Amino acid sequence: MSLFDAIFTGLTQGAMIALVALGYTMVYGVLKLINFAHSEVFMMSAYIGLMFIGLFVGAENGLLPSSFGLHGVLASHPLVAAGVGTVLAMLGASGIGILVERVAYRPLRGRGKGPLVRVTPLVTALGVSVLLQNVAQLVFTARFRPYPQLLSGTLTLPVIGRLSTSRAVILVTAVVVMVVLELIVKKTWFGKSMRALSSNEEAARLMGVRTGRVIAMTFALGSSLAALGAILYCVDQSQVYPTMGVVIGTRAFVAAVLGGIGSITGAMLGGLLIGVLGEIVKLTDYSGGVDVLVFVVLILVLMVRPAGLLGSTRAEKV
């Protein structure tokens, strides 16, 4: 693999990581909470996507019985099946995100002040992560399940040359999602409410912002982005298994912190940097130490700029 191929492959890898990192950065931007269960939402949505895509194209994956009424209804239109399955997976992930926020995080908000106020949600997030992982093992078993190869073709581009269809779709999707997300945050009522809530929750409530609804919608939006990243990731290169969220979730969290957690553009930049760095390292004799180098770079960046590459430091009352 040439350096150019490695960089381009790294961009596609980084785009998938960035889609997951956006969920981390959105929740942190509103609640100042690291939702470590986000990686398991990524994993669960991959199972949901496999279930529906397999249902529509007629692929046997053991998640739904073959006698189910819609089995193979879109077998002659695989791209339509992928699109419909992705939308349903995003809706399912949104539901999981809302449920996690309502059950695990909402009861902890507004419980006074003190050193444990920030530690308790962190421990809860880790507990929810372990819970979802074990639920997936119980329901879907630990068996590795492959995705149908729906985007297995190649494209020929003037400058880049031959490129797999799946990676072209990943790059285009990531760019479109980032632009749409920026417009949502900057131009819509929901985005303004998110920014007001991030700045001062009590003041936002006094101004008529329904904070509970905004927080739930933020979890739903972040989880749907994780679902989109999960489908693209699995269609391109991975099977589904209960612990698949650990590696991608860790890299996405590092990407969010590296770019500046709370910054949408920073999450995209961090994801792309980590993806490219990982692929370049694979060209060397130290290809097994990708994650080690990622964390070394993170530590160095945070030593120089603690807020991340595009993050901003602001004073906080304690």
The pLDDT value recorded for residue 317 is 46
Token readout for 90 is 């995003």
Instruction: Give CA angle at 95 (59, 269), nearest 5°.
Output: 85
The pLDDT value recorded for residue 42 is 93
Over range 48-70, report the average pLDDT. 72
- At residue 134 the predicted structure's pLDDT band, cuts being 50, 70 and 90, is very high
Strand-pair partners of 145: 240
How far, in Å, CA of 286 to CA of 142, rounded?
30
Q: What are phi and psi of 64, to 5 degrees?
A: -135, 145
* Count of Cβ atoms closer than 10 Å to residue 153 Cβ: 10
Q: What are phi and psi of 164, to 5 degrees?
A: -65, 145
| Alpha-carbon radius of gyration of the chain | 20
The pLDDT value recorded for residue 1 is 62
Question: 236-271: per-residue pLDDT in tens?
Answer: 777 899 998 888 888 898 898 888 888 888 888 999
pTM of the model: 0.86
pLDDT at 314 over 70: no
Residue whose pair of structure tokens reads 């089995």 in the numeric block? 71
- Residue 157's H or E segment, with its range, is strand 154-157
In a 3-state reduction of DSSP, which class is residue 57?
helix
How far, in Å, CA of 118 to CA of 264, rounded?
23
Question: 164-213: per-residue pLDDT in tens?
Answer: 777 778 888 888 888 888 888 888 888 888 888 888 888 888 888 888 89
- At residue 88 the predicted structure's pLDDT band, cuts being 50, 70 and 90, is very high
How far, in Å, CA of 48 to CA of 38, rounded?
15
Question: 32-53: per-residue pLDDT in tens?
Answer: 888 888 999 999 999 999 888 8
pLDDT at 315 over 60: no
How far, in Å, CA of 7 to CA of 10, rounded?
5
- The counts of H helices and E strands in the chain are 11, 2
